[in-house]
Structures are given as structure tokens and as C-alpha cells.
Structure 1
């Protein structure tokens, strides 16, 4: 057994009381700062900084943007949101009504453009009243055609809009958006991690005081710094997700992983962010008109536009074909379809407000999230940590070790 010289320890404490008093404070600071650094490294920098591929750093979240977007979108569309069920809440007639005024302007612009291009001499010779009559005839067909298009899209919405690809691409393209999604729903968790570093560091700092007083071993400081920086990172991350259900420890303390304890608030925040940032009416319309399945939409529009032209020229069609030629007539119909497709966004977007209110995507997601198992619920955030969390723990440990070495230099220098 090693004899302890209490008197010598007391003298050393009296002589270096300020140093001893600073140990728990420094340990607490190490714990807090390493957590803040670790949190910051999750999100910044947005792009890789350094010498690729290994000498440098990119925030863990933006680095793994596609993988995380795939996981989140898979869960979103697999368990939280059925696009067909959500779209069925819309009233096709009300949607067509919302689009009626802007649609009339689009139809008039398309008709005027096509007629002026392919029949300029005849169109310019017509009196204004006759021109208006021609346009009115075309416009009168627009509401019925619009309603038909809406009903066809709503009958099988996923054939016309690849929502999964749209969501993944939007999140991956805008890494700031992904950062916001993770940061906003996890503010409380990140604050908890930093505070854990402070508290755990302070506790270990008092242990460090005792061990240093008894041993005076130079390795004590860097080892404690390493433990404070690394182990507290690991412990804080575990306490966020575990245990998944409320569990009583030692018969004294009941604890549930913070992420699971805040389930209701997280669900509300997540639903709101998805509705406002990812599955917006503008994004859905953009995907419908320019996405991988936009050719289906174009085929619908082309078919209906060409039918209107054939109907409106049915009596005079032989004369029209004779005047412009059969090939030119087909070109005229194709041109009208392309222009109508290009202007479709102008007609659809005024209905966005009605659609957003009725679809109620945010509340739908939030309510469905309450039905997830704890493991499924955890997958909302856990992918942000799991694959590279060892790097965060390592960085915390290294910073703590270096600060410990600095303490030794101060004490023995």
C-alpha cells in the first residue's frame, strides 16, 4: 500500500490553490467547448475545405446529404405520407375554379400567338369582334379541359410526379436546407449535448483534482482531458436516443432519451418544415412540369390542346389545311401544345394557396409520426449522427488531450 502524505498534500493545496480550483472549471470548459465544436462540425463547412480526399473537412450533414435525404424521404413516403390519399382531399372542380381566371389569359395568349404565327394574314384581316369571338370559342373549352386534366392527374398522381425524386433532389441540391431541417428539429438536443459537456466536465474535474493531488503524475491531465472531451461526447449522444422508453435507474432517476421525450414537438416541427421547405406547391408543380415524369403531363396537355384546335377548325379544317398545308397544320398544333405547357405554371400557381390549405401536409405528417415505433422515429435524426459520430468523439478527445497537456505545462513549468 502506498503511504499518503496528507501534510504534503495540504501544503501543495495551499500553495497552488488557484491551480487546483481551476481544474474543475477548465474541465467544464473543455467539456462544453468540445461539444460546441462537435456540433459545429456536423454542419460546417457546407463544402469540403482542404486537400481532397482526406486532408480536410466537410460538415457531416452536408457530406452525407444524399444518403440522409434518401433515408428521410423513404420514411416520409413509406410511413408518413401517401401522396394519392393526400391528393384525394382536393376538389377537382374547386381547383379548376381557382385556376379559371389565369387560365383564360394563358389560353388567349397561346391562341393569339399560334394564329398570328401560322395564319398572320388572315388573323390580322379579321375585325376585332371576330377575333374576340374566335378567342372566346377557344376559352369556352378551357374549363372543361382543365377539369379533365386535373381529374386524370389526381387519379394516379405518382404517374405524373415523382415525389420521392423531387424531395431527394431538393434536399440534396440545397445543403443549407438539410442543415436547417436537422438543426431546427434538434435545437434542444444540441443544447443538451453542450450542457452535458459542462456538467460532466465539472464532475470529472473534481475527480481530476483528487487524482492529481495524490499522484502528481504528468499524464493525469492529458488523460483526463481526453476522457472529458471524448467520453462525455459519447455519453451525451447516447443520452439523446437512449433509452427509447422511460426507464428508472437505481430506483431514483427516471430517464428517457431526449429525442423520444420530445416526440410531439419534434413531430410538429418536422411536419411544418417539410410542408414549408420541401413538399411545397411550387416544388410539386415544378417537378410535374420539368421532372422525370413531365412527359406524361405534356402528353396530356398536347392531346387536349390538339383536340381543341381540331374542334374549333372542324368546319373550316379542309380550308385551313389547304391554306397552311397538312404538315404546317400539325406543326401549329404541336407549337400550341408546347406553348401551353410552358405557360401552365402561370395557370396552376394561383391555386397553390387552396391546395396547401386542403392538403394540410404539415399536420398530416405530424399526426402520422405519432404512430411510428421508437426505432422508426429515431431514424429521423439518427442518420445525422450514426455513421460519423466516432469522428465527433475523436475530435472531442483530441482537443481535451491537448488542453490537458497545456495544464501540465502550466503546473510543472
Structure 2
């Protein structure tokens, strides 16, 4: 009964063990969560060994790839996105800015290549030219949009757009996982207190009967390891609901499918798959050369049609080569102004695509196995590192307990009076005394 006698002689020291264990569990879980997301860029001496970068930012390309697979395979693909855009409506939205752009570009091209001829033309003639071109522009835009939709696989890559944006903006990638799983990360942190305290009670009871120097470090390691592991299991398992008496049991993330779907739909539609990002991807993505070639082909065709009657006179006046240079110059200037012009369709495109509601309703309809893929990749990548870090920190705290609380008994210097003071201060800080 030596253990009980020791307990009665030093109750605060023993009672501090569950408290320390709870703090260890909480602390290791908080550290593990932080290490998932931070730092965004590598900090250390030699990448990737001597230093650290948050697991999600470090695996940004792979994480983004997993996310976009879920989006394109289960929620929406690029064909459906563009099928919701009406070419005629796009032309209407662009009519105003294109009219202004055409007038400016016509003046620039003519003054650059044929300043004398252009300046000698009466304003009435110039205005007729502007009006004729502007009258044809909506049809040209509608033709370009129709061809884009018909050949969207060769003109736009949704997966490349999402991966490019998420790898370029790692903070956004962090935000997506953090907002989608905020309740789960909060649970992981708090579960450290519950599981850690429970392990601490077991640790205290075992220590009453069995006092070996390795026991406290071993329990610390077990607490750091098990609290992380158990929390992860409770988040994703069981996937399907099953009843135990009056209770419905299901993984915490699975329970929140409806809520997560709303947050995810809002976040992705407002920050990632936006009309502005889609336009940028079309004009700057891997198929941009094909897009510009298509636009150039339509614009050159329109110029030839506009000048078809007067073309012999035009080519005689300015020369065939100069006429070709004028056409190419006009095409280049129109393409250069496209990004600014297309900003005028963003509001219409946002309403037409209705991505937030689409993503939300389809995410709510996913099976538990499919839904798990929204958050599980954040944990699966190097999950063992997080658990190992928790175990290592727990082990170090176990060594601290051994030295500070029971150093004298174990024949380790650094115990004694400091142990009692540390225990009293710890219990006072937690409100247990």
C-alpha cells in the first residue's frame, strides 16, 4: 500500500497527473493542427529536411488536384459551366464596351498605318465605318462564343485553372480546408482535453501500484499519439448512421454534410470558380493560343466582309501588304483589349452559372464515401507526421512529469520541493484547488 500512502502524503502531485495529461492532449492536438496549415512557405535551413512547411501548403498541387477531381467528377464540369452561358446574351453584355473599343482601335490602326488617308476622310464617312462595324460586332461575338462552347475541351481546362489558382494562392487552399473543417479541427483540439484527462486518470491509478521510471514518459507518448488518432477516427467514422439505444452514432464530419455543402459552395463559387478566374483561364491558360487564333480568325473574316465591296479600291490605295498589316494590327489590339471588355459579362455570368447553389445541392447529395473526400485528404497526407509529433511532445512532457513530480523518489535531481510547487501552481491555474 506504499502507493496509497504516497498519495495521501502528496495528493496534489498525483491529482496533477490527469490535469497535465489533459493539457498535453490539448497542446499536442493544437500544435498538430497548426502544423497542417503553417507556415505557408518553408522555414528552415535545408528544404525539405531541416525545417518545416505546413502539410497542406507543401502538398498544394496534390491537394488542389484532389479537390478539383471532386469538383469535376462529382459536382460540375467545364462543359456544363459553358452550356449555361448564352452567346446572344454575352453579345448583348459586350455591345457597349465593344462599340467604344472598336472606334478607338479603328482610329489607332488607321493613324498608325494610313494617317494621311484617314485624316482626309470626312467625319461623316468615319462615322459610317464605325456604325457598320459596330452593327456586326454582336454577331461576331456570338459566333466566337458558339465556337468556344462547341470546342470547350480544346479551349479551356477547368482542372488546370483550379490547380493554378490554388498553388499560386496557398492561403486560399488553407482557407478552403479550414472553413470546410472548422468544427472538426475545433473538436480535435478539445478532444485532447477529454482523452488526455481520461488517460491521465488511468496513468494516476497505474502509478499508485506500479512505479517505474519509464511509465510516465510511456504514458505521455501514448496520450500524444492516441488523442490525435482517436479524434481522427471519430471525425470520419462511422460513415453511415447507426443507432445504439436512443443514440444515433455517425462521424462528426458526416453529420455536418448539409452545413459543409453550404460553406463549400459559397467559398468555391466566390473565391475559386469565379467568372473572372474562368475568363483569365480562357485567355491565359494552356489553350490560350487556340483561343486567340479563333478570335483572330473571326475578326479578320469580319474585316474582309466589311471591306468586301471596297476591297479592290482599299488594297489599291494602301497596298496589299499594308492592308494585311492593318488587319493583323486590328486583331492584336482587339485581343489585347479583350480582358477589360470581358469584365462586363462577369455579373451576367455569375447569375447564369449559379455555381453556389449547384455545388451546394450536389455536395449534399453525395454518398458518405464521396463526401469524405472533401476533407479527408487534408489528414491523409503525412498524417503519420502529425501523430508522431503528438507522440514526441507527449513523451517529452512525460519526462518532465517524471523529473519534476517524482524526481526525488526516482533518484533524479531536479525533483523535490520544485515538484510540489509546480503541482500546486498547475492545479490552482486550472481551478481544482
Question: Is 1:287 aligned to residue 268 of structure 2?
Answer: no
- Cα shift at 1:182: 0.5
The residue number in structure 2 matching 1:230 is 225
CA distance in 2, matches of 1:380, 1:216: 46
User: SS at 2:51's partner residue?
Assistant: strand
Alignment of 1:14-413 (within 5 A): 14-50=8-44, 51-248=46-243, 251=245, 253-411=247-405, 412=407, 413=415
Separation of aligned partners in 2, 1:53 and 1:390:
17
What whole-Å deviation, never above 9, does each CA across 1:155-194 have from its counterpart, x for those lacking one? 3333321111111111111111110111110000000111
Distance 2:356 2:153 in 1: 20
The answer to whether the 8 Å contact 2:55/2:381 transfers is no
CA distance in 2, matches of 1:14, 1:103: 88
- Contact 1:46-1:176 within 8 A present in 2 as well: yes
Deviation at 1:118, TM superposition (A): 1.4
Return the alpha-carbon distance in structure 1 between the equivalents of residues 103 and 264 of structure 2.
42
Distance 1:331 1:67 in 2: 46
Q: Is the 8 A contact 2:77 2:158 kept in 1?
A: no
**What does the per-residue CA deviation read over 1:43-82, in whole Å, with 9 as the maximum and x for residues that have no partner?**
1111222222312211110111111111111121112103
The superposition leaves residues 273-332 of structure 1 with CA deviations (integer Å, 9 ceiling, x where unpaired) of 111111111111111111111222212221221122222322332232223322221121
Distance in structure 2 (CA, Å) of the matches to 1:403 and 1:247? 38
For the residues of structure 1 that align with 2:342 and 2:145, how far apart are their CA atoms? Answer: 10
* In structure 1, distance between residues paired with 2:371 and 2:344: 35
2: CA distance, partners of 1:305 / 1:94: 19
Quote the Cα distance in structure 2 between the aligned partners of 1:223 and 1:48.
Answer: 32
Task: Check whether the contact 1:84–1:156 (CA below 8 A) recurs between aligned residues.
Answer: no
Aligned residues of 1:9 and 1:213 also touching (Cα < 8 A): yes
- CA displacement 1:319-350 (0-9 Å, x = unmatched): 32223322221121111111111111222111
Work out whether residues 27 and 225 of structure 1, in 8 Å CA contact, stay in contact via their aligned partners in 2.
yes
Determine if contact 1:46/1:58 at 8 Å carries over to the other structure: yes
Across the two proteins, how many residue pairs are aligned to each other?
406
The residue that corresponds to 2:422 in the other structure is none
Looking at structure 1, the residues matched to 341 and 400 of structure 2 have their Cα atoms a distance apart, in angstroms, of 67
Once the two structures are TM-superposed, the CA of residue 269 in structure 1 deviates from its matched residue by 1.2
SS in 1 for 2:212: coil
Counterparts of 1:99 and 1:329 in 2: how far apart (Å)?
27
**SS of the residue aligned with 2:145?**
helix
- Please give the alpha-carbon distance, in whole angstroms, between the structure 1 residues aligned to 2:370 and 2:263: 17
CA distance in 1 between counterparts of 2:243 and 2:27 reads: 30
1:235 is displaced (CA, Å) by 0.8
Cα distance between partner residues in 2 of 1:90 and 1:316? 36
Q: Which residue of 1 aligns with 2:3?
A: 9
Quick one: distance in 1 between partners of 2:290 and 2:167? 25
Whether the 8 Å CA contact 1:69–1:171 is kept in 2: the answer is yes
Provide Cα deviations, 1:252-287, integer angstroms capped at 9, x if missing partner.
Answer: 754211111111111111111111111111111111
- The CA distance in 2 between the partners of 1:276 and 1:91, in whole Å, is 21
CA contact (8 A) 2:103 2:130 kept: yes
> Is 90-99 or 376-385 further displaced after alignment?
90-99
Preserved contact between residue 79 and residue 149 of structure 2 (Cα < 8 Å): yes
Distance in 1 (alpha carbons) for counterparts of 2:6 and 2:233: 39
d(CA) in 2 for partners of 1:82 and 1:44?
A: 32
Structure 1 segments unaligned to the other structure (5+ residues): none
Aligned partners of 2:87 and 2:141 also within 8 Å? no
* Contact 2:165–2:272 (Cα < 8 Å) also in 1: yes
The separation in 2 between residues aligned to 1:314 and 1:47, in whole angstroms, is 59
TM normalised by structure 1 equals: 0.94
Cα offset, 1:129, TM superposition: 2.9
